[in-house]
Structure 1
Amino acid sequence: MSDAEWASVRDLLPVPGWLAGRGGRPEGYCHRQMIDAVRYLVDNGIKWRAMPSDFPPWPRVYAFFVRWRDAGLVAELHERLREAVRRDEGRSLEPSAGVVDSQSVKADATVAHVSRGFDAGKKTSDAEELSSGHR
Protein backbone atom coordinates (compact mmCIF):
# COMPACT_ATOMS: atom_id res chain seq x y z
CA MET A 1 0.00 0.00 0.00
CA SER A 2 1.43 3.37 -0.97
CA ASP A 3 1.80 6.17 1.56
CA ALA A 4 -1.07 8.04 -0.13
CA GLU A 5 -3.34 4.95 0.10
CA TRP A 6 -2.40 4.46 3.74
CA ALA A 7 -3.12 8.12 4.52
CA SER A 8 -6.65 7.72 3.15
CA VAL A 9 -7.27 4.42 4.93
CA ARG A 10 -5.64 5.16 8.30
CA ASP A 11 -8.33 7.57 9.49
CA LEU A 12 -11.09 5.12 8.53
CA LEU A 13 -9.76 2.35 10.79
CA PRO A 14 -11.11 1.75 14.28
CA VAL A 15 -8.85 2.96 17.08
CA PRO A 16 -7.29 0.03 18.98
CA GLY A 17 -8.54 -0.31 22.55
CA TRP A 18 -5.14 0.29 24.14
CA LEU A 19 -4.74 3.58 22.21
CA ALA A 20 -8.24 4.75 23.16
CA GLY A 21 -7.61 4.03 26.86
CA ARG A 22 -9.93 1.01 26.92
CA GLY A 23 -7.23 -1.37 28.11
CA GLY A 24 -5.50 -4.27 26.46
CA ARG A 25 -1.97 -4.43 25.21
CA PRO A 26 -0.47 -3.04 22.01
CA GLU A 27 -0.63 -5.32 19.01
CA GLY A 28 2.58 -6.89 17.76
CA TYR A 29 2.21 -5.57 14.21
CA CYS A 30 0.83 -2.33 12.87
CA HIS A 31 -2.48 -2.32 11.02
CA ARG A 32 -0.77 -1.21 7.80
CA GLN A 33 1.33 -4.38 7.72
CA MET A 34 -1.68 -6.56 8.43
CA ILE A 35 -3.91 -4.90 5.84
CA ASP A 36 -1.09 -5.14 3.28
CA ALA A 37 -0.78 -8.86 4.01
CA VAL A 38 -4.52 -9.50 3.66
CA ARG A 39 -4.65 -7.45 0.44
CA TYR A 40 -1.71 -9.48 -0.93
CA LEU A 41 -3.47 -12.73 -0.07
CA VAL A 42 -6.73 -11.66 -1.74
CA ASP A 43 -5.03 -10.12 -4.78
CA ASN A 44 -2.85 -13.16 -5.48
CA GLY A 45 -5.29 -15.88 -4.46
CA ILE A 46 -2.75 -17.62 -2.25
CA LYS A 47 -3.33 -19.76 0.80
CA TRP A 48 -2.64 -18.36 4.26
CA ARG A 49 0.36 -20.66 4.68
CA ALA A 50 1.89 -19.33 1.45
CA MET A 51 2.22 -15.79 2.82
CA PRO A 52 5.66 -14.41 1.84
CA SER A 53 8.16 -13.94 4.66
CA ASP A 54 8.28 -10.14 4.27
CA PHE A 55 4.79 -10.02 5.83
CA PRO A 56 4.04 -10.87 9.47
CA PRO A 57 3.72 -14.63 10.14
CA TRP A 58 0.57 -16.03 8.53
CA PRO A 59 -1.02 -17.23 11.82
CA ARG A 60 -0.84 -13.65 13.16
CA VAL A 61 -2.30 -12.21 9.92
CA TYR A 62 -5.04 -14.83 9.93
CA ALA A 63 -5.90 -14.15 13.59
CA PHE A 64 -6.04 -10.41 12.84
CA PHE A 65 -8.32 -10.96 9.85
CA VAL A 66 -10.65 -13.34 11.73
CA ARG A 67 -10.89 -10.95 14.69
CA TRP A 68 -11.77 -8.01 12.40
CA ARG A 69 -14.16 -10.12 10.30
CA ASP A 70 -16.02 -11.51 13.30
CA ALA A 71 -16.34 -8.03 14.83
CA GLY A 72 -17.74 -6.68 11.56
CA LEU A 73 -14.75 -4.40 11.01
CA VAL A 74 -13.87 -5.75 7.55
CA ALA A 75 -17.36 -4.93 6.29
CA GLU A 76 -17.30 -1.57 8.09
CA LEU A 77 -13.94 -0.64 6.52
CA HIS A 78 -15.26 -1.63 3.09
CA GLU A 79 -18.35 0.52 3.65
CA ARG A 80 -16.28 3.50 4.81
CA LEU A 81 -13.96 3.22 1.80
CA ARG A 82 -16.91 2.99 -0.58
CA GLU A 83 -18.48 6.09 0.97
CA ALA A 84 -15.17 8.00 0.83
CA VAL A 85 -14.75 7.20 -2.87
CA ARG A 86 -18.33 8.27 -3.62
CA ARG A 87 -17.89 11.47 -1.56
CA ASP A 88 -14.63 12.32 -3.42
CA GLU A 89 -16.45 11.83 -6.74
CA GLY A 90 -19.27 14.15 -5.63
CA ARG A 91 -21.83 11.35 -5.65
CA SER A 92 -24.48 10.39 -3.14
CA LEU A 93 -23.06 8.13 -0.41
CA GLU A 94 -25.67 5.48 -1.18
CA PRO A 95 -25.97 4.03 -4.69
CA SER A 96 -29.30 4.56 -6.45
CA ALA A 97 -29.15 1.33 -8.47
CA GLY A 98 -27.48 -2.04 -8.52
CA VAL A 99 -26.49 -4.59 -11.13
CA VAL A 100 -26.81 -8.34 -10.72
CA ASP A 101 -25.00 -10.60 -13.13
CA SER A 102 -25.05 -14.37 -13.46
CA GLN A 103 -23.98 -17.13 -15.76
CA SER A 104 -25.90 -20.20 -16.86
CA VAL A 105 -24.12 -23.51 -16.76
CA LYS A 106 -25.50 -26.64 -18.38
CA ALA A 107 -26.43 -29.34 -15.93
CA ASP A 108 -24.83 -32.73 -16.20
CA ALA A 109 -26.99 -35.58 -17.51
CA THR A 110 -27.08 -37.02 -13.98
CA VAL A 111 -28.93 -33.94 -12.61
CA ALA A 112 -32.68 -34.55 -12.41
CA HIS A 113 -34.79 -32.41 -14.75
CA VAL A 114 -37.03 -31.28 -11.90
CA SER A 115 -34.08 -29.65 -10.12
CA ARG A 116 -32.84 -27.69 -13.14
CA GLY A 117 -33.42 -23.96 -13.34
CA PHE A 118 -34.63 -21.64 -16.07
CA ASP A 119 -32.56 -18.88 -17.66
CA ALA A 120 -35.02 -16.07 -18.33
CA GLY A 121 -32.46 -14.11 -20.36
CA LYS A 122 -31.98 -16.96 -22.81
CA LYS A 123 -35.58 -18.08 -22.38
CA THR A 124 -34.42 -21.68 -22.22
CA SER A 125 -33.82 -24.27 -19.60
CA ASP A 126 -31.35 -27.07 -19.70
CA ALA A 127 -34.28 -29.49 -19.92
CA GLU A 128 -35.60 -27.74 -23.05
CA GLU A 129 -32.16 -27.81 -24.67
CA LEU A 130 -31.89 -31.51 -23.98
CA SER A 131 -35.33 -32.30 -25.38
CA SER A 132 -34.67 -30.29 -28.54
CA GLY A 133 -31.50 -32.26 -29.17
CA HIS A 134 -29.09 -29.38 -28.56
CA ARG A 135 -26.22 -30.13 -26.26
Structure 2
Amino acid sequence: MVVVAGSSPSTPGCDCLAHRFGNAADRPERRPRYGSDLSDAEWALVRDLLPVPGWLAGRGGRPEGYCHRQMIDAVRYLVDNGQCRCLSY
Protein backbone atom coordinates (compact mmCIF):
# COMPACT_ATOMS: atom_id res chain seq x y z
CA MET A 1 0.00 0.00 0.00
CA VAL A 2 1.35 3.43 -0.95
CA VAL A 3 0.50 6.40 1.26
CA VAL A 4 1.23 9.83 -0.16
CA ALA A 5 0.88 13.06 1.79
CA GLY A 6 2.07 16.64 1.49
CA SER A 7 2.53 19.00 -1.42
CA SER A 8 5.42 20.01 -3.60
CA PRO A 9 7.14 23.29 -2.75
CA SER A 10 7.31 24.10 -6.47
CA THR A 11 3.52 23.82 -6.88
CA PRO A 12 1.85 24.81 -3.60
CA GLY A 13 -1.53 25.21 -5.29
CA CYS A 14 -1.87 21.58 -6.33
CA ASP A 15 -0.89 18.44 -4.46
CA CYS A 16 -1.90 15.79 -6.99
CA LEU A 17 0.43 12.85 -7.65
CA ALA A 18 1.39 14.21 -11.07
CA HIS A 19 2.69 17.43 -9.50
CA ARG A 20 4.42 15.77 -6.57
CA PHE A 21 6.02 12.78 -8.29
CA GLY A 22 5.21 12.87 -11.99
CA ASN A 23 6.07 14.93 -15.02
CA ALA A 24 3.77 17.85 -14.15
CA ALA A 25 6.08 19.18 -11.42
CA ASP A 26 7.71 21.61 -13.85
CA ARG A 27 4.42 23.29 -14.78
CA PRO A 28 3.27 26.46 -13.01
CA GLU A 29 0.91 26.60 -10.08
CA ARG A 30 -2.76 25.81 -10.70
CA ARG A 31 -5.12 28.80 -10.78
CA PRO A 32 -8.92 28.47 -10.64
CA ARG A 33 -10.38 29.83 -13.87
CA TYR A 34 -14.05 28.88 -13.94
CA GLY A 35 -16.93 28.62 -11.49
CA SER A 36 -17.01 24.86 -12.06
CA ASP A 37 -13.41 24.35 -10.80
CA LEU A 38 -12.95 22.28 -7.65
CA SER A 39 -12.54 24.14 -4.39
CA ASP A 40 -9.75 23.05 -2.06
CA ALA A 41 -12.29 21.29 0.19
CA GLU A 42 -13.80 19.39 -2.77
CA TRP A 43 -10.34 18.44 -4.02
CA ALA A 44 -9.40 17.06 -0.58
CA LEU A 45 -12.37 14.68 -0.82
CA VAL A 46 -11.80 13.66 -4.45
CA ARG A 47 -8.00 13.25 -4.15
CA ASP A 48 -8.35 10.37 -1.69
CA LEU A 49 -10.73 8.51 -4.05
CA LEU A 50 -8.31 8.46 -7.00
CA PRO A 51 -6.41 5.18 -7.47
CA VAL A 52 -2.66 5.01 -6.89
CA PRO A 53 -0.94 4.84 -10.30
CA GLY A 54 0.92 1.67 -11.23
CA TRP A 55 4.29 3.39 -11.57
CA LEU A 56 4.08 4.68 -7.98
CA ALA A 57 3.06 1.27 -6.63
CA GLY A 58 6.03 -0.38 -8.37
CA ARG A 59 4.05 -2.08 -11.16
CA GLY A 60 5.78 -0.19 -13.98
CA GLY A 61 4.49 2.42 -16.36
CA ARG A 62 5.27 6.08 -16.90
CA PRO A 63 4.60 8.94 -14.49
CA GLU A 64 1.61 11.11 -15.34
CA GLY A 65 2.24 14.22 -17.37
CA TYR A 66 -1.00 16.02 -16.55
CA CYS A 67 -2.39 17.38 -13.31
CA HIS A 68 -5.24 15.23 -12.00
CA ARG A 69 -7.03 18.23 -10.53
CA GLN A 70 -6.95 20.09 -13.85
CA MET A 71 -8.32 17.03 -15.66
CA ILE A 72 -11.24 16.81 -13.22
CA ASP A 73 -11.79 20.57 -13.56
CA ALA A 74 -11.94 20.14 -17.36
CA VAL A 75 -14.56 17.38 -17.10
CA ARG A 76 -16.63 19.47 -14.68
CA TYR A 77 -16.42 22.44 -17.07
CA LEU A 78 -17.62 20.35 -20.01
CA VAL A 79 -20.54 18.99 -17.97
CA ASP A 80 -21.44 22.37 -16.47
CA ASN A 81 -20.67 24.74 -19.36
CA GLY A 82 -24.21 26.05 -19.78
CA GLN A 83 -23.84 28.71 -17.10
CA CYS A 84 -23.48 32.34 -18.14
CA ARG A 85 -20.87 33.10 -15.48
CA CYS A 86 -18.47 30.69 -17.23
CA LEU A 87 -18.66 32.51 -20.56
CA SER A 88 -15.97 35.05 -21.41
CA TYR A 89 -17.21 38.45 -22.53
User: TM tier, shorter chain?
Assistant: 0.3 to 0.5
Tell which has more relative contact order, 1 or 2 (C-alpha 8 A, sep 6+). Answer: 2
Radius of gyration: which is bigger?
1
TM-score (norm 1): 0.32
Q: TM-score under structure 2 normalisation?
A: 0.47
